[in-house]
Amino acid sequence: MNVRRADARLALLGAVVAVLIATAWRSTPGAVARALLDDGTPVAEPTDRIVRVTVPNGANAGQIVEALDAAGAIADAGALRVLLRLTGAGSDLQAGRYAFREGSSPADALRVLRGGPNGYQRLTIREGLRVEEVGALVVRAGLATPQEWQAAMRKPRPEPFLAQRPAGADLTGYLFPASYDIDGSTTAESLVQAMLNAFGERVAPLDIDARQAGGSLHEALTLASIVERETVREDERWTVAAVFKNRLKTGIGLQADPTVQFALTRGERGAALAAVSGYWKEHLTPDDLQVDSPYNTYRVTGLPPGPIANPGMGAIEAALRPAPVDYLYFVVAPSCDGHHLFATTLDQHNANVAAFLASKCGR
């Protein structure tokens, strides 16, 4: 047995006896526990290393202490058992992931346990979100305030792949969608950095593929973001990407509704609209299609200046390697199940549009 730990345990046991005698007149477990928590018994200093322990569903106090002891999370398992018994907290502990400083004192360990799970949890950033939507998720998760998220967005970034963005562009398109581990130490800045690191590992190496295809990675991301917002079914991404590629080659405007939705909700005026209709307005009007913006692909030919959302790997790969088809048009299928009808000629497309308008989802 570690001599220092044994000495601390003896001292603690002696303190417990003293406390029990001194507090006999107020002999409630809570009172004894409070005295014990503050008795000043020397224990080993905790380290700065973080130890993470998962408390499974149904675990009792003894099993929880054993798990913490085995992980090195606590300095004295026996003392923690005493505290749990005296406070009656053992039956109220929640299952979940906890983070402790290695060698925590029994009192500190109990405070962590009483506070509920604070260890790694999973925050999922799904494909197709704007930076504002990602920020809202981060704020709702309690990781940052809106001001802290904005500060993370404005911070200059040294990553080479960000140099392709136009001056003044934000991080839209570069916050890689995935599930991230978060804990009590996670901040807006650390999460943004994790997303950029994931982008650097997964997407940045595709820069060579984009150049071989005659463009840049930024352009591929821009197209991928439109594909992401236009498609529901994964198996159609490559075909939708081909339609847009073919339209770019022939000089036909992309006429993609998601670019209008994005254009409508930019700037202060756009923020007011987003508060009413959300960031992706469901029903666009003829007036909406005339919004004056470089992102409005009904008025501007070619790609918009940058991504309108953060695309996932599937959409990025589709943008880099579209299907070998000659389609120029697509519209939602009358089956209303997320499929699209594709066409090469305008006459074919008009027939498909008529079929959609006659369906239950087109009325």
Q: Is residue 156 part of a domain?
A: no
CA-nearest of 57, 53, 52, 51 to 95 is 57
d(CA 296, CA 290): 8
pLDDT tens track for 165-195: 988 889 999 999 999 988 767 889 999 999 9
From first CA to last CA, the distance across the chain in angstroms is 78
Number of structural domains the chain divides into: 1
**pLDDT of 258 above 80:** yes
CA 8 from chain center: how many Å?
Answer: 44
Q: What pLDDT does 45 receive?
A: 60
Q: Is residue 51 part of a domain?
A: yes
Q: Is residue 46 part of a domain?
A: yes
Phi, psi of 40 (to 5 degrees): 75, 15
pLDDT tens track for 273-305: 888 889 999 889 999 999 999 999 999 999 999
Helix H or strand E encompassing 249: helix 237-250
Helix H or strand E encompassing 341: strand 340-343
Q: Is residue 120 part of a domain?
A: no
CA 33 from chain center: how many Å?
Answer: 40
| CATH for 87 | 3.30.1490.480
Q: Is residue 71 part of a domain?
A: yes
Q: Is residue 252 part of a domain?
A: no
Q: Is residue 359 part of a domain?
A: no
Q: Report which of residues 34 and 218 the model is more confident about.
A: 218
pLDDT tens track for 98-110: 888 899 999 999 9
pTM metric for this prediction: 0.71
d(CA 89, CA 76): 17
pLDDT tens track for 1-22: 443 444 444 344 444 433 433 3
Residue 76: give the domain boundaries: 3-115
| Residues 226 and 258 sit within 8 Å (Cβ to Cβ) | yes
Collapsing DSSP to helix, strand or coil, 181 comes out as strand
pLDDT tens track for 99-151: 888 999 999 999 989 888 776 778 899 999 999 999 999 988 888 899 999 99
Q: Is residue 75 part of a domain?
A: yes
